[in-house]
Amino acid sequence: MIKREITRVLAERLEELNFELDRNDIDVEEPSNDEFGDFASNVALELAAETDLSARDLASSIVEGIERELFSSITVAGPGFINFHLEKDFLTDSLSQLLASSDPLGGISVDEKETIQIEFVSSNPTGPLTVGHCRQAVLGDVLASLYRALGYEVETEYYFNDEGRQMNILARTLWARYKQALGEEVEIPEDGYKGEYLVDIGEDIASEHGSEYSRWNDETADFFKKIGLEEMIGRIKEDLDLLGVQFDSWFRESKLHKEGKVEQVLSALDERDGTYEQGGALWLKAEEEGAPKDAVLVKSNGDPTYLLPDIAYHLDKLDRGYDRALVLLGADHQRHVENMKAALRVLGFPRDFYQVLINQFVSLSNEGEVKRMSTREGEFVTLKSLVEDLGKDVVRYFMAARKPESHLEFDYELAKKESMDNPVYYLQYAHTRIASIFEKTEYADLEESFPLKEVDLSELGKDEEIELVKKLDKFPEMIEIAAGDYGSHHLVSYGEDLASTFHQFYNKFKVLTEDDDISRARLALCRGVQLVLKKLLNLLGVSAPEKM
RNA sequence: GCGCCCGUAGCUCAGUGGAUGAGAGCGACGGAUUGCGGAUCCGUAGGUCGGGGGUUCGAAUCCUCCCGGGCGCACCA
């Protein structure tokens, strides 16, 4: 990472001048205008106020003491910017390192091996996953890959409620479908799940068990609850599988009750004076801890609300020893998050343990029409139909492409196009083109006689070539940024940018030329692009095809 | 009414806690191929960065007010 190296050089020089500052405070940027060098820094402008010098004079004195061997020139410009023009070798060295290690991440990793648990989707098993869950599934899955790539110990988990009111409603609804399958005129319960998805399960039960469960009693309820749960969870897993998302762990809420975790949390909150009783209900003093209002933990009928077991769940996460618990939630859970934070503060959780990534909703646009979704009313576009229609690669790419806090408008028409209009193929095509070149060169032979990692890269010097080298060098930094702000969209932006630069290069220059030295240098460059593109697509969970 | 998020080109969106011409893709218009895959490339048109104020040497970016949109403000999850 060249930027890191320049920052280091600058930091050393500033130390010589007796400035005290953190290396992270030193800002090294790539100027938008390349007249201003390959990299530039504004430190002099920032530090001038601490000195008697003008920013320009300070910049000059900083520049004077910097060793020149890496740079073709260092200049002071404008109000006091320091512009670095790099020796070409400095740039191509980063490519050499990439080829030598075959590691696009340049060996970056976290200092301490931190364990992070990522909980996402966690939709209750009362209906099929929809496009909204789809966004979260992709986001969570990409983040997990990202953190693994950075050396974290990562565990992904899906949390679901396997008993309680919703399960009862599911059982009642399923029973109604079963009765309908037996030819009886039965209405779906008022608050039941009206979608069609329970119909065939009801039919299956009817054909297997006949009229065995024609009466609603405890035994029937248990049976339909159990089978409904199994069926729905099974389908959810199948759907996620279609998307290429697998969870390390599935966590049932009932486990918390069985193990007394809920009780434990309740008494812990109580001990710390975090609760009170009012109107027959038990309240959390959330307002004292920064939430807008207090929240109910146990309803006056004795049932816990959603909040209480979730607190218990996070106590369980803490007990399991994770350093960090990241939870992905939809925008409608904002209030819940405030209550959770308040509760965990009462319980004295480590400050940064509970981390939440709120993602905004997805709307599906098709010829200008925007659809809303409701599981309860049975109106939705399912994850399954989306993936079956468009394929895993396209769906994942589109879902990962926007920053989580922005609404995602899923352009169905564009996603459907299997042509150059679709940005997924743009990236994949770049990868394919490179694969195709290597096929042509009978690469195996060439690699044997002239290992690419030993190729003389001084032949690289065209603007497009240098541009590519710089972009490859930037990959690890981009990954750190993406992990740092939980944003899969950085991968997409970077990928499109890299692919674009590659296509320009490819269009303008031939890789395989009469001149063997040039050919080898360009092949080495292509290998670098290939490594990075493959890694990138891999992190996104999108395939990197050799042929399309 | 209060809180969170969003508002950048006709459309969909990038722009890593400031600085040195405001970007990409799609759409529109016009071009490029007897040579490594044209699923590509090049060019043109298109923007008061929602609006006003403020901080600063400098603001799409920070502060504030206003406007518009999404979500939330349950003894639902």
Is the pTM higher than 0.80? The answer reads yes
Nucleotide in closest CA–C1' contact with A164: B77
Q: What is the nearest nucleotide to A425, using C1' and CA?
A: B39
Contact A192, A176 (CB under 8 A): yes
Cα(A274)–Cα(A405) distance, integer angstroms: 32
Taking each continuous run of H as one helix and of E as one strand, the counts in chain A are 20, 15
For A83, the enclosing helix (H) or strand (E) is: strand A81-86
Q: Residue A276 has which token pair?
A: 């009170």
CB A70 within 8 A of CB A86: yes
SS3 A359: strand
Rounded to a whole number of angstroms, the distance between the first and last alpha carbons of chain A is: 32
* Nearest residue to A145 (alpha-carbon basis) of A189, A105, A87: A105
Angstrom distance, A364 CA to B29 C1' = 30
Write the single-letter amino acid at A226.
K
Could you tell me the distance in Å between the CA of residue A525 and the C1' of nucleotide B69?
46
pLDDT in tens, chain A (548 residues): 888 888 888 888 888 887 776 666 678 888 877 778 889 998 888 888 777 788 888 888 888 888 877 888 898 888 888 999 888 888 889 999 999 988 999 877 776 788 999 999 999 998 889 999 999 999 999 999 999 999 999 999 999 999 888 888 999 999 999 999 999 988 888 888 878 889 999 999 999 999 999 899 999 999 999 999 999 999 999 999 999 999 999 999 999 999 999 999 999 999 999 999 999 999 999 999 989 899 999 999 999 999 999 999 999 999 999 999 999 999 999 999 999 999 999 999 998 899 999 999 998 877 555 555 444 444 568 899 999 999 999 999 999 999 999 999 888 888 888 776 789 999 999 999 999 998 887 665 566 666 777 788 999 988 899 999 999 999 999 999 999 999 999 999 999 999 999 999 999 999 988 888 898 899 999 999 999 999 999 999 999 999 98
Provide, in whole angstroms, the distance separating residue A287's CA from nucleotide B55's C1'. Answer: 33
Q: Tell me the three state secondary structure of residue A427.
A: helix
Q: Please state whether beta strands A324-330 and A354-359 pair in parallel, antiparallel, or not at all (unpaired).
A: parallel
Distance A454 CA to B32 C1' (A): 36
**Closest residue by Cα to residue A472 from A108, A99, A147:** A99
Ramachandran area for residue A437 (φ above 0: left; ψ -120 to 50: alpha; else beta) = alpha
H/E run at residue A411: strand A408-411
CA closest to B73 C1', residue: A335
SS3 A462: coil
A443 touches strand B (CB under 7 A): no
Q: Which two tokens stand for residue A7?
A: 């920052």
Contact flag, residue A358 CB and nucleic strand B, below 7 A = yes
Instruction: Mark residues 202-261 of chain A whose C-beta is closer than 7 A to nucleic acid strand B.
Output: none
- Amino acid A381 CA to nucleotide B30 C1' distance, rounded Å: 41
Q: Provide, in whole angstroms, the distance separating residue A133's CA from nucleotide B2's C1'.
A: 29
Chain A, 141-200: which CBs lie within 7 Å of strand B? 161, 164-166
In angstroms, the CA of A440 and the C1' of B33 are apart by 20
The two three-digit tokens of residue A522, written as one number:
């360009």
Count of CB atoms within 10 A of residue A372's CB? 10
The residue with tokens 């940024």 is A481
Dist CA A502 CA A513 (whole Å): 17
Calculate the angstrom distance between C1' of B30 and CA of A504.
20
Which bases along strand B come within 7 Å of a protein CB atom?
2-7, 12-16, 18-21, 24-27, 35-42, 57, 69-77
Q: Which residue has the tokens 């929240």?
A: A295
pLDDT per residue over A451-479, tens digit each?
777 788 999 988 899 999 999 999 999 99
Residue A275 DSSP one-character state: E
Is residue A509's beta carbon less than 7 angstroms from any atom in nucleic acid strand B? yes
Q: What strand order describes the sheet that includes A281-284?
A: A275-278, A281-284, A295-298
Beta pairing partners, A306: none
**Quick check: helix, strand or coil at residue A199?**
helix
Joined together, the tokens standing for residue A207 give 């054909």
A447 touches strand B (CB under 7 A): no
Identify any residues that bridge with A82 across adjacent strands, giving them in sequence order: A41, A76
pLDDT in tens, A11-61: 888 888 877 766 666 788 888 777 788 899 988 888 887 777 888 888 888
